[in-house]
Amino acid sequence: MYVTPYEMPKDLSRKRQDNLVCAKPEPVEPKTPPCPTILYREKAKYTEIARINRLEGTVSLSVVFNTSGQITDIRVIRGLPDGLTRRAIHAAQQVRFEPATIDGMPVNLRGVMEFNFNLPPGEIAREL
């Protein structure tokens, strides 16, 4: 006897899923690591041309604080002309820190570092 799909009872043509119960997983809160502890940080130095042009401002860098205590993957968010951005990058590369940890294990962490360039009080600045 040949039975076409149209003649088959619906209960036999598909698996019964009436008794299927799905358990909802409990939400897991992501752990946020504490900030790395800075052990050594150099101040970025002015370039002579920036001093002559009386430039002031802030260089913002996006960096990765890696597990070995060094800054890597430096990206410029906001830079300044006359070599000040390069000086800020060089100063960021000199930073040493104790890495952030989760459950006692060191982790890489992306963050933002800012380097302020301000002239001494006697000099008149030109901000960008």
Domains of the chain, residue spans:
34-119
Please tell me whether residue 99 adopts helix, strand or coil conformation. coil
User: Per CATH, which fold does 34-119 belong to?
Assistant: TolA/TonB C-terminal domain (3.30.2420)
* Integer Cα distance of 35 and 113 in angstroms: 12
Would you tell me how many other CB atoms lie within 10 Å of the CB of residue 76? 14
Q: Which of 31, 29, 28 is nearest to 107 (CA)?
A: 31
Q: What is the pLDDT along the chain (128 residues), one digit of tens a residue?
A: 555 555 555 555 455 555 555 556 666 666 666 788 889 998 999 999 999 898 999 999 999 999 999 999 999 999 999 999 999 999 999 999 999 888 888 999 999 999 999 988 776 655 55
Q: Which of 85, 86, 62, 65 is nearest to 74 (CA)?
A: 62
Q: Which of 84, 18, 75, 26 is nearest to 53 (CA)?
A: 84
Q: What is the pTM of this model?
A: 0.69
Q: What is the identity of the amino acid at 52?
A: I
